[in-house]
């Protein structure tokens, strides 16, 4: 299964950039109008630390028109330490004033923002009540009134909580409905609280989605399970297969079941056409079914062990797969042939005679289908047949696992596994039986006490092992003591045996002889296919008996009466995604009595939330759906809500700025925050807790959370060590807590801020130190930092990044103390030049040297095409190079080759050893990882070649000659020892590889078009994807596990929310929900995707101010940071701009990639959704 990265999709997702002038005549100037001024409103605004205020930029044009230019303007704050701005939304940082500007080119407008710390006398939530649907979100506000009568929006700074997060959650003022009900949401700020009542209503049914394509073709006698999905107005999805009414327009052609145990199952009866329909809640959906006569769709030739010894014989086997889903052994009915004289095949029987060493493709034809197999023959005769164990001990009912391994041994010591072809036998079937195991391997099952032997025969050789069967630890029947009338279920006869490591339970029902003391009450089957199936016939009591291996087990069962209802517990069910819960089913009888029916019912589950087997529910989700337990037409349901918590790792405490071994000085305060920690894509993602947190310390005399107006702010009171605790609930509502240690130190003097010197484009940490009696402590995490000129040195937390040359004053405030230091940005200079050659060169194989210059900013720049090249060892290698081109090195003799590069006064060289073209080693064997492979049409899978040297060591396979025949069945791409096969049409093909004097073969069976399959998304974070963020889906199909996303038809129910950009890849467009569907010829599989409403807070560029030589290129990446803590690569979605294309020009075919033209310094910019980030690029 593949993972999708944004940069990996450049070819698929080449961004189309569009520009524009004014609006239409009704709303602004035409394309020729020129912008003359920008007005920012309100011109003055007031906010508080942590809160936000929205500004609007309006552009005036020379034709008299105006229009809103908020989204396209570049916003900046001249005092980022007081207020920061993004897309017109200003966030207060600390008390003071800041001028905020909106600019387009050289035209700009400004507003004055005051960040105040007033005294608040009240807060209110607006609106005081709201009604939403499940799955929907609604923004609400918290407005605070000051003692001067001024009302300020403090939504972003308030702490939001929900009384019942299972009904509705709230984060940063956005309320989201979870399930039907009512709850209060509370906003707390400055020690004041207000609340609003939220009513969550059920979303209304919008449409019905059938889990099948509009047209469907099956063969007579086939069956197919089809699901029905209800799609609601909030974008959610619910599997209503069991609740829908199913119909067939032509019952003699096809029937469809509405019975709970098999609802939605189509059974085809005869050739013809029928409309299969489902209806639910007044909505309907249908598919047009065509039923064809049965036919052979595939002929499978059983894989042949490799290699077989010359002179022997091997019986080939062919199995026909019919369109109705059945299979049959047609070995004696097929026509057989061989393409090589090394193997002679009897056309009628399929017996292959091994004539000489070599490889042959054998072909079987039957019913219009053709199957192929590969037979490899070795000229050496085997000397012995070996078993991996000569003595086998088992408890009654147990079987050999792993299966017996049978190997041929040759005179040179080589061995070959022939387990799948060797014939196993046991002379005493009363003690042990030879059977096919669950993985299609041949195993020996213990069915009676005593001892016997097991013999393996192959190629005229044989070997034996002793088999000893001992009594089990127990033998019993697994059945309830009482059952309702009308039920039919399978009773299990089980032995408990001591395995190699643990006690194991073995189901031996099909080997036992069954009887009932009262068949008129409960009848029990002894038929081979239904052994142990008990059916209630009448009222009363019956004793069931199973006899096995000389032992008997009994169970007395009472029939209680007619069944009236089934209930499932626990109910309702709330489960985090990826977890398992055990459910129980209780049958309620007509007379009011109850009995456990967990093992009697048929379990089914809405596929959108997970799967259930024997009452064990595994959640996938997220979403809400129903789990059903049914006996005949009587069924019970439970609503299950699956909460998307991918890799939820719990709760953690973090300092506001950074996480490390920081010390807090006595008398000062430190701000902490509680975060949820998730593991997404192998990396930890921290998400701010969106509900109320209770803060405490282990020693209030050392440190205390004594400021209710600022949750998470701790006050250092005395020197010592203390534990900080945070208590809250998980996103699923479970109580949880976290703790961390904090050292409180007693300073002996004021803090000091270390000066910073940074090369252009680099970054450096800010270090605030506090002097102690014998040492110093770092307190950077608890300070507030600012720069006198962010355009030179920009503060990001406890780090500064160098944006342009110059000097600034850096200030750090710790409590009421402010200290300053100088920050300087220096020009970038080249430090060294490096030449890179491959570790080893091969005579006759060209290599491409590279030259890289290291800058003192830590960057490396490729100057391969700018350097001057030479080779000082012309007898070993020749160098082809002309100025401005890529050099090529051709080794012509074994030895050491040395190349030199010079650039801008720097000289560097590198050497590598050239070796003669390696001859193919002589191998003892060459094999594919598997003898056969299976995949659907359109699917892909990988193959691997493995070579063994005569010494027994592994050989690295390179340059093997690999072919596939016929090529119209499957395509093949080979690289080294690996190959990728793609199914093209139903059929079989033989892959042949030759290398090292050996030949290997494998059969590729393309068995069918993609039928029943599933899809699931890759990790998208706890709150879904975001606008412009990509999400990849994986498709799977048992049992092939081939990758076949490209072979499915992908669609989105709402492209305005989520769009499909490539097979298995979707991109968020706007907040909301959309149903992604993937369709094959037989099935449609849906998945709901939520696009988060969390606002985009800022963009970051991975190169702040690079210094690049002229004539080269540089690639920026744009990283989006959203308000919910998530981040993602949005390079492809961003618009890239250069202030001077004659110095730096962006490549329109490769977003973020710039090409340097000439020396100079230029500003570049990335923009998305009105949020911008810029950098300076210096070209020399």
What is the rounded average pLDDT of the residues 1160-1174? Answer: 83
Report how far apart, in Å, the C-alpha atoms of 6 and of each of 10, 1018, 1113 are: 7, 13, 20
Least confident of 618-627, 703-712, 974-983: 618-627
pLDDT for 839 beyond 90 = no
**Quick one: pLDDT at residue 325?**
65
Say yes or no to pLDDT of 1179 above 50: yes
Predicted confidence at residue 521, as pLDDT, reads 94
Work out the pLDDT band at 1044, boundaries 50, 70, 90.
confident
In the predicted model, what is the mean pLDDT of residues 353-369? 88
pLDDT score of 660: 58
Q: Left if phi > 0, otherwise alpha if psi is -120 to 50, otherwise beta: which for 893?
A: beta
Strand pairing partners for 507?
494
> Looking at the structure, do residues 452 and 358 belong to the same domain, yes or no?
yes
Q: Over pLDDT 70: what percentage of the chain? A: 92
Task: Say which range, 135-149, 164-178, 410-424, has the weakest mean pLDDT.
Answer: 410-424
Q: Is 643 within the bounds of a domain?
A: no
Alpha-carbon span 720 to 743, nearest angstrom = 6
Cβ-in-10-Å burial (0-12, 13-18, 19+) of 380 comes to middle
Question: Considering only CA atoms, which of 787, 804, 788 is closest in space to residue 796?
Answer: 787
Task: Tell me the two tokens of residue 615.
Answer: 């009452």
* Beta-bridge partner residues of 565: 588
Say if residue 307 is in the same domain as residue 439: yes
List Cβ neighbours of 47 (8 Å cut-off, separation of 6 or more).
53, 83, 90, 91, 92, 113, 114, 115, 116, 152, 153
Same domain, 490 and 517: yes
Q: Which of the listed ranges 77-91, 254-268, 556-570 does the model predict with the highest average pLDDT?
A: 556-570
User: Which phi-psi region, left, alpha or beta, contains residue 28 (left: φ > 0; alpha: ψ -120 to 50)?
Assistant: left
Instruction: Indicate whether 554 and 456 sit together in one domain.
Output: no
**Ranges 391-395, 674-678, 940-944: which has the least confidence:** 674-678
The answer to whether residue 9 scores a pLDDT higher than 60 is no
Q: What is the DSSP string of 739-803?
A: EEEEEEE--SS--EE--EEEETT-EEE--EEEE-SSSEEE-GGG-EEEES-TTTEEEETTEEEE-
813 and 677 in a common domain: no
Q: Comparing C-alpha atoms, which of 389, 1058, 1177, 409 is closest to residue 760?
A: 1177
Reference 611, options 260, 1014, 267; nearest CA is 1014
In the listed set 991, 1009, 1027, which residue is the last one of a domain according to the structure?
1009
Q: How high is the pLDDT of residue 1102?
A: 79
Q: What is the mean pLDDT of residues 370-395?
A: 86
Residue 960, in any domain of the structure:
yes
Structure tokens at 904: 């801008």
Q: Of 691, 724, 745, which marks where a domain is finished? A: 745
**Cα diameter, the chain:** 105
* Most trustworthy range by pLDDT among 121-125, 296-300, 1169-1173: 121-125
> pLDDT tens digits for 758-771?
888 778 899 999 89
Most confident range, picked from 224-228, 307-311, 604-608: 224-228
* CA dist., res. 1097 & res. 704, Å (int): 32
CATH code: domain of residue 960: 2.60.40.1080
Q: What is the mean pLDDT of the chain?
A: 84
Residue 18 lies in a domain: no
Q: Scanning the structure block, which residue is given the tokens 């008390």?
A: 95
Decide if 621 is inside a domain: no
The whole-number average pLDDT for the span 339-345 is 91
- The confidence score (pLDDT) of residue 27 equals 39
Cβ atoms 1080, 1087 nearer than 8 A: no
Tell me whether residue 276 is in a domain: yes
Q: Which residues of 946-977 are buried (b: 16+ CB within 10 A; e: fewer)?
A: bbbeeeeeebebeebebebeeeebbebebeeb
Is this structure's pTM higher than 0.85? no
Split at pLDDT 50, 70, 90, the class of 1050 is very high
Average pLDDT over residues 884-909: 91
Short-list 547, 507, 506, 505, CA closest to 524: 547
Residues 1118 and 1162 occupy one common structural domain: yes
Tens digit of each residue's pLDDT (9 = 90 or more) over 562-583? 888 899 998 878 777 777 889 9
**pLDDT at residue 1021, as a whole number:** 57
Domain interval for residue 979: 925-1009
For residues 1172 and 101, give the distance between their C-alpha atoms in angstroms, rounded to a whole number.
Answer: 13
> Taking the C-alpha atoms of 469, 472, 475 and 478 in order, what is their torsion angle to the nearest 10 degrees?
-110
- Is there a contact between 1000 and 926 (Cβ–Cβ < 8 Å)? yes
Mean pLDDT over residues 1083-1098, rounded? Answer: 83
CA–centroid distance for 865 within its chain: 40
Measure Cα distances from 122 to 118, 150, 1078 in Å.
12, 11, 53
State yes or no: pLDDT of 682 exceeds 60: no
Q: Tell me: do 974 and 1032 sit in the same domain.
A: no
Q: How far apart are CA 329 and CA 320, in angstroms?
A: 6
Q: Look-up: residue for tokens 């220096």?
A: 826
Please give the structure tokens belonging to residue 860. Answer: 């490396």
Element (H, E) at 77: strand 74-77
For residue 645, the model assigns a pLDDT of 56
Between 293 and 1014, name the one with better pLDDT. Answer: 293
Cα→Cα distances 478→508, 875, 969, Å: 11, 82, 49
Give the pLDDT band of residue 335 (cuts 50, 70, 90).
very high
Burial class (CB in 10 A: 0-12, 13-18, 19+), 436: exposed
Which of 1068, 1091, 1114 lies at the terminal end of a domain, its last residue? 1091
How many domains are there within the chain? 11
Calculate mean pLDDT across residues 43-61. 88
Instruction: Determine the average pLDDT of the residues in 262-273.
Output: 89
Distance CA 1149, CA 10 (A): 8
Round to whole Å and give the CA distance between 1013 and 1021. 24
Query: Rounded CA gap, 4 and 902, in Å?
Result: 40
At which residue do the structure tokens 């730096």 appear? 1144
User: Is there a contact between 364 and 387 (Cβ–Cβ < 8 Å)?
Assistant: no
The answer on pLDDT for 1148 being more than 60 is yes
Confidence band (pLDDT; 50, 70, 90) for 683?
A: low
pLDDT at position 16: 30
Q: Residues 93-118: what's their mean pLDDT?
A: 89
919 DSSP 8-state letter: P
Give the length of the chain. 1180
* Residue 195: band (very low, low, confident or very high) from pLDDT cuts 50, 70, 90: very high
The H or E element spanning position 722 is strand 720-729
- Mean pLDDT, to the nearest integer, of 106-118? 90
Whole-angstrom Cα distance, residue 1152 to residue 131? Answer: 44
17 band by pLDDT with thresholds 50, 70 and 90: very low
Q: Are residues 740 and 882 in the same domain?
A: no
DSSP secondary structure letters along 122-173:
EEEEESSEEEEETT-EEE-EEEEEETTS-EEE-TTTSEEEES-TTTEEEETT
Question: How open is the CA angle 876-878-883, to the nearest 5 degrees?
Answer: 150
pLDDT score, position 659: 53
901 is written with which tokens? Answer: 């590069």
pLDDT in tens, 412-454: 777 777 787 788 999 999 999 998 876 667 889 999 999 999 9
- Minimum mean pLDDT range among 468-482, 780-794, 938-952, 1017-1031: 1017-1031
Residue with the bigger pLDDT between 411 and 511: it is: 511
Structural domain contains residue 26 = no
Which pLDDT score is estimated for 945?
92
Give me the pLDDT at residue 1022, please: 58
- What is the torsional sign of CA 436, 439, 442, 443? negative
Q: How many C-beta neighbours within 10 Å does residue 1173 have? A: 21
Of the ranges 954-958, 1011-1015, 1058-1062, the best mean pLDDT one: 1058-1062
Torsion, Cα of 608, 613, 615, 616 (10° steps) = -80
Q: In terms of domains, do 447 and 307 share one?
A: yes
Both 307 and 415 in one domain: the answer is: yes
Q: Is residue 839 part of a domain?
A: no
Whole-angstrom CA distances from 150 to 46, 47, 49, 100, 144 are 9, 10, 16, 21, 8
Tell me if 75 is assigned to some domain. yes
Read off φ and ψ for residue 109, nearest 5 degrees.
-135, 160
3-class secondary-structure state, position 578: coil
Are 450 and 485 within one domain? no
The structure tokens listed for 29 are: 């100037």
DSSP string, 658-700: --SS-EEETT-EEEEEEEEEEEETTEEEEEE--S--EEEES-T
User: Same domain for 1060 and 975?
Assistant: no
Q: Which pLDDT value is given to residue 8?
A: 29
Sign of CA dihedral 597, 598, 603, 607: positive
**Of 439-443, 558-562, 870-874, which one has max mean pLDDT?**
870-874
Q: What is the pLDDT of residue 25?
A: 32
Q: Which two tokens stand for residue 273?
A: 């056409």
- Range with lowest mean pLDDT among 150-154, 223-227, 1122-1126: 1122-1126
Q: What is the mean pLDDT of residues 805-810?
A: 92
């Amino acid at each position: 299964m593949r993972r999708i990265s944004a940069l990996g999709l450049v070819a698929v997702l080449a961004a189309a950039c569009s520009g524009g002038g004014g609006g239409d005549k009704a709303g602004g100037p035409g394309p020729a109008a020129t912008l003359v001024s920008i007005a920012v409103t309100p011109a003055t605004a007031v906010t508080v630390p942590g809160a936000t205020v929205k500004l609007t930029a309006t552009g005036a044009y020379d034709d008299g028109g105006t229009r809103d230019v908020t989204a396209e303007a570049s916003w900046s704050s001249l005092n980022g330490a007081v207020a920061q701005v993004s897309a017109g939304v200003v966030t207060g940082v600390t008390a003071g004033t800041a001028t905020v500007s909106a600019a387009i080119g050289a035209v700009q407008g400004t507003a004055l923002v005051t960040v105040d710390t007033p005294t608040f006398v009240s807060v209110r939530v607006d609106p005081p009540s709201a009604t939403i649907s499940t799955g929907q979100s609604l923004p609400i506000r918290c407005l605070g009134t000051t003692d001067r009568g001024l009302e300020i929006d403090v939504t972003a700074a308030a702490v939001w909580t929900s009384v019942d997060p299972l009904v509705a959650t709230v984060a940063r003022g956005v309320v989201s409905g979870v399930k039907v009900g009512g709850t209060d949401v509370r906003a707390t700020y400055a020690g004041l609280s207000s609340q609003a009542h939220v009513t969550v209503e059920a979303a209304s049914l919008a449409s019905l989605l059938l889990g099948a394509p509009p047209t469907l073709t099956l063969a007579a006698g086939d069956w197919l399970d089809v699901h029905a999905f209800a799609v609601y107005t909030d974008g959610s999805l619910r599997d209503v297969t069991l609740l829908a009414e199913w119909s067939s327009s032509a019952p003699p052609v096809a029937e469809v079941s509405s019975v709970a145990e098999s609802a939605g199952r189509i059974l085809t009866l005869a050739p013809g056409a029928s409309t299969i329909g489902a209806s639910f809640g007044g909505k309907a959906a249908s598919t047009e079914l065509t039923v064809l006569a049965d036919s052979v769709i595939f002929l499978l030739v059983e894989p042949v062990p490799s290699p077989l010894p010359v002179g022997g014989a091997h019986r080939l086997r062919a199995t026909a797969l019919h369109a109705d889903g059945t299979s049959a052994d047609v070995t004696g009915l097929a026509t057989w042939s061989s393409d090589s004289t090394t193997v002679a095949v009897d056309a009628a029987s399929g017996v292959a005679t091994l004539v000489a060493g070599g490889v042959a493709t054998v072909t079987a034809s039957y019913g219009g289908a053709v199957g192929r197999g590969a037979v490899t023959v070795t000229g050496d005769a085997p000397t012995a047949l070996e078993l991996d164990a000569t003595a086998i001990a088992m408890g009654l009912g147990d079987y050999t696992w792993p299966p017996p391994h049978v190997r041929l041994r040759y005179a040179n010591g080589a061995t070959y596994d022939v387990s799948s072809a060797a014939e196993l036998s046991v002379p005493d079937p009363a003690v042990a039986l030879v059977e096919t195991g669950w993985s299609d391997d041949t195993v020996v099952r213990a069915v009676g006490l005593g001892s016997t032997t097991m013999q393996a025969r192959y190629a005229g050789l044989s070997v034996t092992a002793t088999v000893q069967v001992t009594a089990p630890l127990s033998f019993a029947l697994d059945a309830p003591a009482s059952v309702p009338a009308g039920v039919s279920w399978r009773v299990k006869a089980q032995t408990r045996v001591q395995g190699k490591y643990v006690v194991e339970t073995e189901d031996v029902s099909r080997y036992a002889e069954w009887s009932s003391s009262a068949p008129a009450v409960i009848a029990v089957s002894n038929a081979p296919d239904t052994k142990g199936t008990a059916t209630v016939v009448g009222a009363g009591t019956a004793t069931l008996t199973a006899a096995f291996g000389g032992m008997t087990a009994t169970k007395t069962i009472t029939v209680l009466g007619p069944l009236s209802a089934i209930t499932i517990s626990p109910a309702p069910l709330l489960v985090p995604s990826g977890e398992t819960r055990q459910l129980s089913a209780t049958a309620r009888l007509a007379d009011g009595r109850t009995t456990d029916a967990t093992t009697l019912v048929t379990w089914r589950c809405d596929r959108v939330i997970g799967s259930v087997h024997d009452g064990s529910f595994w959640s996938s989700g997220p979403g809400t759906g129903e789990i059903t337990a049914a006996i005949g037409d009587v069924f019970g349901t439970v609503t299950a809500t699956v909460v998307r918590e991918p890799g939820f790792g719990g709760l953690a405490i973090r300092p506001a700025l950074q996480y490390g071994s920081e010390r807090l000085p006595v008398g000062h305060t430190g701000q902490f925050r509680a975060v949820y920690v998730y593991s997404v894509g192998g990396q930890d993602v921290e998400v701010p807790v969106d509900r109320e947190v209770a803060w405490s310390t282990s020693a209030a005399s050392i440190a205390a959370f004594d400021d209710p107006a600022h949750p998470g702010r701790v006050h250092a009171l005395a020197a010592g060590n203390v534990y900080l605790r945070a208590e809250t609930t998980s996103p699923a509502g479970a109580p949880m807590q976290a703790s961390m240690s904090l050292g409180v130190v007693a300073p002996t003097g004021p803090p000091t801020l270390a000066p910073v010197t940074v090369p252009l484009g680099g970054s450096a940490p800010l270090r605030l130190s506090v002097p102690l009696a014998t040492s110093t402590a770092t307190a950077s995490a608890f300070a507030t930092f600012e720069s006198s000129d962010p355009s030179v040195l920009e503060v990001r937390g406890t780090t500064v990044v160098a944006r342009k040359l110059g000097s600034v004053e850096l200030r750090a405030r710790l409590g009421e103390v402010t200290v300053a230091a100088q920050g300087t940005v220096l020009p970038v200079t080249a430090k060294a030049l490096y030449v890179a050659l491959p570790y080893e060169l091969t005579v006759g194989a060209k290599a491409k040297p590279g030259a890289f210059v290291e800058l003192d900013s830590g960057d490396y720049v490729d100057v391969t095409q700018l350097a001057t090249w030479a080779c000082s060892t012309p007898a070993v290698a020749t160098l082809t190079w002309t100025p401005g081109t890529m050099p090529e090195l051709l080794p012509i003799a074994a030895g050491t080759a040395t190349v030199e590069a010079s650039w801008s006064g720097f000289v560097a060289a590198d050497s590598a050893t050239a070796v003669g073209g390696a001859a193919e080693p002589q191998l003892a064997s060459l094999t594919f990882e598997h003898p056969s492979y299976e995949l659907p049409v359109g699917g892909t899978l990988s193959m691997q070649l493995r070579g063994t040297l005569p010494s027994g060591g592994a050989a690295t396979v390179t340059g093997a000659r690999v072919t596939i025949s016929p090529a119209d069945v499957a395509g093949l791409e080979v690289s080294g020892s690996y190959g990728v096969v793609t199914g093209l049409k139903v059929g079989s093909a033989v892959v042949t590889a030759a290398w090292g004097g050996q030949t290997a073969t494998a059969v590729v069976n393309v068995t069918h078009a993609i039928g029943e399959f599933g899809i699931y998304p890759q990790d998208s974070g706890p709150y879904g994807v975001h606008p412009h963020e990509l999400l990849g889906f994986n498709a799977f199909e048992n049992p092939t596990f081939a990758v076949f996303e490209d072979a499915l038809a992908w669609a989105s129910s709402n492209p305005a929310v989520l769009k499909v950009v490539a097979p298995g890849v979707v991109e968020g467009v706007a907040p909301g929900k959309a149903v992604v569907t993937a369709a094959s010829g037989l099935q449609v599989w849906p998945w709901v995707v939520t696009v988060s409403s969390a606002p985009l807070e800022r963009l970051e560029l991975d190169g702040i101010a690079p210094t690049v030589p002229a004539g080269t290129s540089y690639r920026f990446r744009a990283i989006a940071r959203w308000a919910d803590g998530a981040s993602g690569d949005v390079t492809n979605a961003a618009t890239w701009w250069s202030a001077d294309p004659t110095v730096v020009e962006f490549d329109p075919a490769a977003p973020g990639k710039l090409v340097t033209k000439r020396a100079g310094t230029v500003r570049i910019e990335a923009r998305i959704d009105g949020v911008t980030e810029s950098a300076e690029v210096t070209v020399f």
